[in-house]
Amino acid sequence: MHEIRDPQACQTMTQVRAGVDAVDRELVALLKRRFGYMDAAARIKPERDMVRDEARKRQVIDNAVSEARAAGIPEAAVAQLWENLVEASIAYELDRFDRRSAAR
C-alpha cells in the first residue's frame, strides 16, 4: 500500500492515484451510510408517493452547491453529481419501499 499524501504534497502519479483510490474508498463508505438513510426513509414514509419530493431534492442540490462554492470547487460539477446522486437515491428508496410493501 502506498503512503497517502495530501494532494499538494504529491510528487508522482503513483502518489496521486493512491490518494484518489483512498478518497474513493471513503466516498463509498459515505454512500453506504447515505443509502442507509434511504432505507430508513423507505421504512418511515407511509405512502409511496411521498418518496419523490421535488422541493427536498432542490434543497439537497442547493445545499451541495453552496458547500462547493465555500470549498472552492466547481459548482456545476457538484450540481450534476448531486442530481445523479439524488435520482439514484430516489430509485433506491422506491425499490426499498416496494420491497417492504410486498413483504407485508
Q: What's residue 1's pLDDT?
A: 62
Cα 101 to Cα 43, 44, 46: the distances in Å are 9, 12, 10
The answer to whether the annotation marks 87 as part of a ligand binding site is: no
Question: Do 52 and 90 contact (CB within 8 A), yes or no?
Answer: yes
| CATH class of the domain defined by 7-103 | mainly alpha
The answer to whether the annotation marks 52 as part of a ligand binding site is: no
The answer to whether the annotation marks 45 as part of a ligand binding site is: yes
The answer to whether the annotation marks 17 as part of a ligand binding site is: yes
pLDDT digits (tens, 9 = 90+) for 6-53: 999 999 999 999 999 999 999 999 999 999 999 999 999 999 999 999
Specify the pTM. 0.91
Question: Do 80 and 68 contact (CB within 8 A), yes or no?
Answer: no
Q: What's residue 95's pLDDT?
A: 97
pLDDT digits (tens, 9 = 90+) for 47-95: 999 999 999 999 999 999 999 999 999 999 999 999 999 999 999 999 9
3-state SS, residue 46: coil
